[in-house]
Amino acid sequence: MELLRDPEFWVFIAFVIGVGIMLWKGTGMLNSMLDARAQRIKAQLDESRKAREEAANHFGWLAHFVAIDCPASSAQTRQGLGWAPKQLGLIADLDQLHYFETALARARA
């Protein structure tokens, strides 16, 4: 009976009960959160599948080529022909805005 008078015993009992309640309530909440996340992911996959089918219907035989991720490089051309660009790159060239000078001049006039 000395055990029932020991405060550490009651702290342990309270701890076990508290952890038990958290696990009992927490697992239900965790399961519902995971179920909701699974539903969102399923909805995104269904939307993606539908978009892919619509693209295939829209592009027809061209859909296969549109879907290919095929990055290109000029390295083979540079090596084979000994070619090296001397001008600015596309983005740097567009940043200079000289392509739009006539349109801007017309808009100001």
Do 56 and 63 form a contact (C-beta atoms < 8 A)? yes
Which residues of the chain fall short of a pLDDT of 70? 1, 103-104, 109
Residue 61: the pLDDT is 84
Residue 81: the pLDDT is 87
Give the residue ranges of DSSP H helices in the chain.
7-59, 63-67, 75-81, 90-95, 101-108
Residue 104: the pLDDT is 66
Find, among 73, 95, 94, the residue nearest to 85 by Cα.
73
Residue 103: the pLDDT is 66
Range of the domain at 39: 2-108
How many domains is the chain partitioned into structurally? Answer: 1
